Structure 1
Amino acid sequence: MKTRAITGFFFLIIMVGSLLLGDKVFSVFYLLLSTATLFEFYKLIKKAGIRPHIIIGLIAAVLVFGLSALFFYIKFDLKYLLLIIPIVFSVFITELYKKSKIPFGNISYTFVGFIFITIPFIFFHALGFLFNGGDFNWKLPLGFLCMLWANDTGAYLFGVKFGKRKLFERHSPKKSWEGFFGGILTSMLVAYIFSQQFHQLPLLGWLGMAIIISTFGTLGDLVESMLKRSFDTKDSGSLLPGHGGLLDRFDGLLLSAPIVYVYVYLFIN
């Protein structure tokens, strides 16, 4: 517990610091974080005998995230994103030279990692540039993370105290409906606090964001649990002592970030 608390404290400082130190630090940090998380995903599935195209996948992820982030600084023609096409198709060609019994399994998991991890991080990064005509604003990403953490904390505390009805026992035996709704309430409380301090969104907008984060954050957690169970592993990695790996820490972001971005974008407009 002590190790978990110390890791959590420094993790919190780093995450908040990445937001408050400016747009360039924010962009570079999440480029590195998303790439490291994708690499962890590829290492995890290798335990099951699958051989994804790690180098190609990482290059494609860095290119797409980097160009997407660069667009907020230099308004270039998005046609440059077409550069990813030859990289994508190189996966099929490279597989021809590998001796594998499941060639299309290797190809598929290469793309799954990119879609499941890199794309959500791109949407989360884009949340920081939704306001002020595309200028960086740390308040929305910070609100997102605080509501996500509040949901995790509330779900745990309510689940331990009141949890009786299993939410999805097949994939996560400890999760309960009581914990799920407790997480939503805790996240909505944080949303209310943010609505009083930051007025980029009205109260209703912040509360809607909290509900989306709690709902899809929980689903993301369940999907990651399904992934780990399919490979018979407890943690996605060991980078964060007491917490597991990066996937274990950001599973709630993976499904919720794209949905939140669409919601806020439509809400603002």
Structure 2
Amino acid sequence: MKTRAITGLFFIIVMLASVLLGHYPFGAFYLLLSLLCLYEFYGLNIKSNILPNRVAGFVNAAFIYIIFALITYQDNPGLHKILLLLTLTISAIFIQELFKFSVSPFTNIAYTLGGLVFITIPFSFFHALAYLKGPFNFHFPLAFLLMLWANDTGAYLVGMAIGRTKLFERHSPKKTWEGFIGGVLISALVGFIISIYFKDLKWNHWVSVAIIIACFGTLGDLIESMFKRSINVKDSGDLLPGHGGLLDRFDGFLLAAPIVYTYLYFIINT
């Protein structure tokens, strides 16, 4: 328990610092984090005898994240032309399989591409939250993290206290409807408190974002649990002592980030 608490505190400090230190540390940190999560994802595949094209996957992941980061930072027409190079880098995932002796080449290709969709694209959307209104603004990514953590903490505490009705027992036996509702309410409360300090949105929009994070964050958690159960592993890795791997910490993040960005984009631009 002590190791878990120390790791959790260190993790929170690093995450907050990455958002508050500005444009370059923010972009570099989440690029590194996305690659580490992708490394865990591909490693889990290998344990289940699937052989994703890791080199091509990492190259595409870095390219996708960096090019979209540059576009959100400075929407230059030249960057959109560079984006077309994805046709070559994505093709490499398929072509590389021609030179491997594999009994299931398209399974390998599917999991390589699946890692980009499941991990790289959500991290790209999260990075883009800081540029929704133009120049770098830490309010949206910081608020996202705070509401996500509030949901996780609220769901855990309420579930432990009064949880009785299973939410989705087939994939996550410990989750309950009571815990889920508690997480939504506490996340919404944090969203309202954020609205007092961050005036970028009206309070009802901050609360709506909190509810989106709670709902899709829970679904993301269930999807990652489904993935781990499909390959018979308990934790995605051991990088975080007492907490498992990075994917175990970012499961809710992965599904919620693109949805939140889409919601905020339409709210801000209408």
TM-score (norm 1): 0.98
* Residues 176-205 of structure 1 deviation map (CA, whole Å, 9 limit, x = unaligned): 000000000110111011001110010000
Task: Deviation per CA, 1:115-137: give whole Å up to 9, x if none.
Answer: 00000010000000112xx1000
Q: Secondary structure at the match of 1:175?
A: strand
How far off its partner does 1:91 sit? Answer: 1.6
Cα distance change of structure 1 residues 264 and 73 upon mapping to structure 2, 3 Å threshold: closer
2:99 to 94, 97, 100: 97
Aligned to 1:83: 85
User: Could you tell me how far 1:75 is from its partner in structure 2?
Assistant: 3.4
- Percent of aligned pairs with the same amino acid: 58
Matched, 1:181 2:174: no
Q: Hey, what's the Cα distance between the residues in 2 that align with 1:65 and 1:35? A: 10
- d(CA) in 1 for partners of 2:167 and 2:73? 43
Superposed CA deviations along residues 132-185 of structure 1, whole A, max 9, x for unmatched, are xx1000011010000000000000011011111100000000000000000001
1:87-166 map, 5 Å: 87-131=89-133, 134-166=134-166
The aligned residue for residue 233 of structure 2 is: 233
For 1:125 and 1:73, the matched residues in 2 are separated by 10
- Alignment partners' CA distance in 2, 1:225 and 1:182: 20
Q: CA deviation at 1:94?
A: 1.3
Distance in 2, matches of 1:135 and 1:19, equals 14
Alignment partner, residue 262 of structure 1: 262
Q: Which residue of 1 aligns with 2:14?
A: 14
Q: Which moved more, 1:149-158 or 1:71-80?
A: 71-80
Q: Which contiguous aligned blocks of 4+ residues in structure 1 show a shift greater than 3 angstroms?
A: 72-75
Q: Give 1:114 deviation, angstroms.
A: 0.3
CA distance in 2, matches of 1:92, 1:118: 18
- Report the Cα distance in structure 1 between the residues aligned to 2:224 and 2:52, rounded to whole angstroms: 18
Structure 2: gaps spanning 5 or more residues: none
Separation (CA, whole Å) in 1 of partners of 2:29 and 2:137: 15
Q: 1:46 aligned to 2:54?
A: no
Q: How many residues align?
A: 267
Partner residue, 1:243: 243
Please report the TM-score for the alignment, with normalisation by the length of structure 2.
Answer: 0.97
Cα RMSD, aligned residues only = 0.8
Structure 1 residue identity aligned to 2:262: V
Q: Partner letter of residue 31 of structure 1?
A: L
What is the alpha-carbon distance in structure 1 between the residues aligned to residue 63 and residue 90 of structure 2?
A: 11
- 1:204-223 superposed matches below 5 A: 204-223=204-223
Structure 1 residue ranges without an equivalent (≥5): none
3-state SS of paired residue (2:116): helix
Q: CA deviation at 1:97?
A: 1.4
